[in-house]
Amino acid sequence: MRKPFAKNICLIGLEEKDEKRLKRGLSVYGNKIFTEKELASLIQRIETSRVNIVLAGKGMDNTNGLEKEILSRDASTKVVFLTSNSDKNNGVKENETNVFSISADAACKDINGYLNKIYSESSADIRVNLGKYSFSSANNELIFHREGAKDLQQKLTKKENDILLLLAVNEGKLVPRKKLTDNIWFSPHIKSSRSLDVYVVRLRQYLSMDKRIQIKNIHSKGFMLTCEK
């Protein structure tokens, strides 16, 4: 199994013994680990910075709309619920798109392996319609639909794809620069605000055939993708 890439991971509602074991395992690959006590503080973190994975403790899946609250802020975040060991779920179970469950004991034994499995085998594809364009996150592809003519396809690089995904699922909302750079450059030593601007310029060019679509620069704060109906 390939080495997992470093991720930003939030823990919420975990039992103390599970939290300690998971933190030991997660720290091996340089993951950034945050612990939140309340849903409100977790949501605030997701809205202002990049969170790849939320690990929620036993019983949190009964919290009203927890995964919906998280995914409505960032549809690319993966939500993993830990279940009681009596559930006998020794592997990852995909409940719905980007929502998973696994027994607490299995997760503590090999958390990096299971998270890597989620990333490598998850078939989740986020599709977004933007005016005359459609976007598929799994295919790294932006398609311009023309009446009476063949559609135009634009392949996206991984970074272009990730930036457009964050902007598209948050259409009409400000996406902070920090959240975008955290999403693309996992190492703080190679983050570059200027590089982000270059990618945004490219995306504007790709989307330029539909004048209703704009990627607005909110000075010193971030970017907002809008599409007039």
| Gap between the Cα atoms of 34 and 172, Å rounded | 28
Angle at 30 between CA 26 and CA 32, to 5 degrees: 75
* Statement: residue 1 has pLDDT above 50: no
Tell me what the mean pLDDT of segment 89-95 comes to: 66
**Which of these ranges, 80-84, 123-127, 200-204, has the smallest mean pLDDT?**
123-127
Structure confidence at residue 108 (pLDDT): 85
Which tokens belong to 107? 């997760």
Q: Would you place residue 86 in the very low, low, confident or very high pLDDT band (cuts 50, 70, 90)?
A: low
Which is higher by pLDDT, 53 or 184? 53
Range 72-96 average pLDDT:
75
**Can you list the domains of the chain with their CATH numbers?**
8-121 (3.40.50.2300), 127-227 (1.10.10.10)
pTM of the entire structure? 0.62
Q: Would you state the pLDDT for residue 3?
A: 46
Which tens digits make up the pLDDT trace of 13-69? 998 999 998 988 887 667 789 999 888 899 988 888 778 899 998 878 765 678 888
Q: What is the mean pLDDT of the chain?
A: 83
Residue 95 is predicted with a pLDDT of 73
Backbone φ and ψ for 184, nearest 5 degrees, come out as: -100, -45
What mean pLDDT is predicted for residues 152-157? Answer: 94
SS3 215: strand
